Amino acid sequence: MESAGGIDQNHYKHMKLPDIIQVLNEVQLPDPTIHKIETKLRELLAQEKEEKQAATKTKHQFVIVVCDKDKKFAGLEDLGGFVVQLDEGDDPNQLLTKLSTAVKSYNATSRKGRKVPIKSVGEAFENLSRKFTKPIGVNLKTKSLTRIVVSDNTLQ
């Protein structure tokens, strides 16, 4: 991209601010002019940094995986589960399939997985490291069973 002065802006992106200030001092511009240029360059760099940070953030949704081994949904008491974070847009119904994929990888490639393979969802949450869950877009937020509190959505 060429600016009005015919200078390719992308050509100078690699330059550091102190180098640019040094060049301006060597050209012998008046100090107030150099200060104005430096201030404007710092503002542009800060704005560019903020834009990069905003562009790289991935939004997430939270999912609770409920362990209902004894089929207690009828009584809805003493339930426990695990907290999971998925990439936004991922189907929560595919979570257990993704978790199964990570477990298979863990059992096949890690020494601990070959010695004591993971066989249940609870063991998966307790033993899987981020190394195995990151490639499938799953972030396990809790390693131990978390109690679930049932509410009727009213405050007392």
Tokens (6 digits) for 20: 């640019």
H or E stretch including 124? Answer: helix 121-127
DSSP-assigned letter for residue 23 = H
CA distance 19 to 149: 59
pTM given for the model: 0.53
> 109-148: per-residue pLDDT in tens?
999 999 999 999 999 999 999 999 999 989 999 888 777 7
The model's confidence at residue 51, banded by pLDDT at 50, 70 and 90, is: confident
The residue among 51, 52, 121, 116 whose CA lies nearest residue 82 is: 121
pLDDT 10s digits, 64-101: 555 555 655 556 666 678 889 998 888 999 999 999 99
Decide: helix, strand or coil at residue 69: coil
Residue 134 Cα distances to 8, 30, 123, 127, 137, angstroms: 39, 54, 17, 14, 5
Phi, psi of 113 (to 5 degrees): -65, -35
Cα–Cα dist 103/97, whole Å: 10
| AA letter at 134 | K
